[in-house]
Amino acid sequence: MKDKKNDNFYYILAKNSIYPALFIIVFLSIFFLYKDKNYNSNINTSNKNEYLSTSGAIKITQSEANSVRNSEMKTLVYVKNKKLNVYIAKSQYDQDVGLMEDTNLKINQGMLFIFSNYKKHPFWMANTLIPLDMLFISKNMAIISIMKAIPCKSDKCLIYNPNHYSMYVLEVNPRYVLENNIKIGDKVMVKNF
């Protein structure tokens, strides 16, 4: 009879030990996933938690969005000698539309926003379907801020307010920043513009 008690004890111990082990595995998985997502302490999601109603946002169709990006990406941008093919958003309409309705931005593609004034340029992600990294660039073509932006499908969208004045903003696939170790202070070079 004593052996049966020991067998039951080990069975109960093994059965009950799986839950703490699963908890530890899940905890470590979440920890490392979170750590990977926050790979650079200089990257922010937003300066403040400000939201704007999307009721006034431009409503466009996929074909209208494509017309903004109808030209080939002939402008080349280099960050740390890593090439990007970019669309240019210089007019107010092109800047308002940006990458709305885009469903596939390759790692070596982006959109360069060129502003006529040096100030803080807030962005939002209304009607934007893909996550983006926003690289805010100074007059002397140095990255001064990097913000991670997520798609907004609700009626109120987060405003991404930079802390610094910028003359340009480069929106890229988040993998570009991660895989090329892009950081604040890196220089940006534009060709074929």
Question: Phi and psi of 82, rounded to 5°?
Answer: -105, 120
Task: Please tell me the predicted confidence (pLDDT) of residue 137.
Answer: 96
Q: Which residues, 6 or more positions from 164, have their beta carbon under 8 angstroms from its beta carbon?
A: 120, 136, 138, 144, 145
> Which tokens is 39 given?
């790979």
Could you tell me the residue range of the domain that residue 10 belongs to? 1-37
> Which tokens is 133 given?
């990294």
Whether 48 and 33 share a structural domain = no
Whether 159 and 68 share a structural domain = yes
Task: Please tell me the predicted confidence (pLDDT) of residue 59.
Answer: 52
Q: Are 152 and 188 in contact (CB under 8 A)?
A: no
Whether 92 and 7 share a structural domain = no
Whether 82 and 175 share a structural domain = yes
Whether 26 and 46 share a structural domain = no
Mean pLDDT value across the chain: 76
CATH of the domain at 52: 2.60.120.1140
Whether 81 and 166 share a structural domain = yes
Number of domains in the chain: 2
Alpha carbons 147 and 161: distance in angstroms, whole number = 9
Task: Please tell me the predicted confidence (pLDDT) of residue 113.
Answer: 92
Task: Please tell me the predicted confidence (pLDDT) of residue 124.
Answer: 86
Whether 33 and 47 share a structural domain = no
Whether 22 and 102 share a structural domain = no
By CB atoms closer than 10 A (0-12, 13-18, 19+), residue 110 is buried
Task: Please tell me the predicted confidence (pLDDT) of residue 18.
Answer: 64
> Which tokens is 52 given?
């704007």
Which residues of the chain fall short of a pLDDT of 50?
Answer: 34-49, 51-56, 58, 68
Which amino acid, residue 122? Answer: P
Whether 181 and 133 share a structural domain = yes
pTM for the structure as a whole? 0.67
Whether 54 and 23 share a structural domain = no
Whether 94 and 160 share a structural domain = yes
Task: Please tell me the predicted confidence (pLDDT) of residue 1.
Answer: 52
Whether 65 and 111 share a structural domain = yes
